[in-house]
Amino acid sequence: MVNDTRPVVVSFDGSAPSEAALRVAVAELPGRHLVVVSVWEPSFGTAMLTPTDPSAVAYGLPNPDEIMTVDRLQREHAGAVAEAGVTLAERLGATAEAMPARDDDNVARTVIAAAERCDAALIVVGWRGLGAVKARLLGSTTRRLLHDSRRPVLVVRNGEA
């Protein structure tokens, strides 16, 4: 990978683990262009807008305008988070670009698709350490990246490579 000039994708959501991943990418891959990917999940907004009546018998359908507004706000937030990652990377001396990405399947596959689009040499991701029970219930983006990606994946655990 020393002579490889392809970009590196950093999965970034603004959390401490993703910031650690970004810092390690800058430190360990000097001179490499970073693509900061921040994913938004449009279905999450729809789920948050689905009210129930007090008896929990009937479900009201969200207004389509509300759904579009929530999706727009989530997209804008993902863009702002990705730009914050770019700002941090540049402050640390790297070149970087933001790539907000809509999640239509799961976050790991969305990050993998972003890496495919830019022909990334590597995907860097922070590890949250959810624990076995939470990881099974909520799923683990890191585990899915390791399992599904055909590209190398660097997992930064507790701010260390």
Q: Structural domains in the chain?
A: 8-39+76-157 (3.40.50.620)
> Residue 87 and residue 81: Cα distance in Å, rounded?
10
Q: What's the pLDDT at 69?
A: 87
For residue 142, pLDDT beyond 70: yes
Tell me the pLDDT band of 44, cut-offs 50, 70 and 90. low
Of residues 13, 14, 15, 24, the one with CA closest to residue 122: 24
- Average pLDDT of 63-86? 91
Least-confidence region, from 10-19, 56-65, 75-84:
56-65
Question: What Rg, from alpha-carbon coordinates, does the chain have?
Answer: 17
Q: What pLDDT sits at residue 129?
A: 66
Of 7, 9, 26, nearest to 125 (Cα)?
9
Provide the percentage of residues in the chain whose pLDDT is more than 70: 78
Strands (E) in the chain, as ranges, are 8-11, 34-40, 96-102, 122-127, 153-157
Question: Which residues 6+ apart lie within 8 Å of 140 measured at CB?
Answer: 130
Give the whole-angstrom CA distance, residue 128 versus residue 55: 37
Neighbours of 104 (CB within 10 A): 11
